[in-house]
């Protein structure tokens, strides 16, 4: 039915040369969200912090092991982190639905991420100076109200 040689896809392409075949709604919306999603400061800031921190934790073995110990450690009853544990997801460069999942997981693990970054900063001898500066900057940004507000706003806008 959607064949490129004799189906609906071919008929539409003959009628409108600029047409593009899209097999589902999400694939249609993903390119539409790319440009508008990069422009507002709110969304750009949320995506940047999630991408940078998630990549740092997931790609560096030392930090990943510290984070794994924090995630799997039992939590005292007065602790705010008694929700079910879902590991961080890398931020997908193109698919918005996956980005929303990644941002949601990041928000759910916010306390754990901050504890991980603070723990790594205490072990200064294992990371180069430029890495320490970046981790300190991430931790500082995570403590700001705007960062969490931007993250929650982005999830609400694109996750609806």
Asked whether 91 and 99 are in contact (CB, 8 A), the reply is yes
Residue 115 pLDDT > 80: yes
Mean pLDDT of 152-156: 87
**End-to-end CA gap in the chain:** 31
**CA separation for the pair 5, 66 (Å, rounded):** 54
pLDDT band for 159, please (50, 70, 90 cuts): confident
Rounded-to-integer distance, Cα 158 and Cα 160, Å? 6
Task: Compute the average pLDDT of residues 88-102.
Answer: 78
pTM for this predicted structure: 0.68
Q: Is residue 86 a contact partner of residue 108, using CB atoms and an 8 Å limit? A: yes
* Distance of alpha carbon 155 from alpha carbon 46, whole angstroms: 9
Residues 6+ apart with CB under 8 A from 15: none
pLDDT of residue 141: 92
Closest residue by Cα to residue 96 from 26, 149, 24, 147? 26
């Amino acid at each position: 039915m959607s064949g490129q040689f004799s189906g609906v896809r071919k008929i539409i392409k003959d009628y409108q040369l600029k047409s593009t075949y899209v097999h589902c709604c999400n694939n249609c919306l993903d390119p539409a969200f790319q440009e508008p999603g990069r422009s507002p400061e709110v969304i750009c800031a949320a995506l940047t912090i999630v991408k940078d921190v998630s990549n740092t934790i997931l790609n560096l073995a030392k930090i990943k092991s510290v984070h794994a110990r924090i995630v799997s450690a039992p939590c005292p009853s007065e602790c705010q982190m008694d929700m079910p544990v879902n590991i961080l997801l890398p931020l997908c460069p193109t698919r918005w639905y996956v980005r929303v999942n990644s941002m949601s997981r990041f928000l759910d693990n916010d306390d754990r991420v901050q504890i991980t970054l603070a723990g790594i900063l205490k072990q200064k001898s294992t990371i180069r100076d430029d890495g320490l500066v970046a981790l300190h900057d991430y931790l500082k940004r995570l403590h700001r109200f705007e960062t969490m507000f931007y993250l929650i706003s982005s999830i609400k806008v694109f996750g609806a």
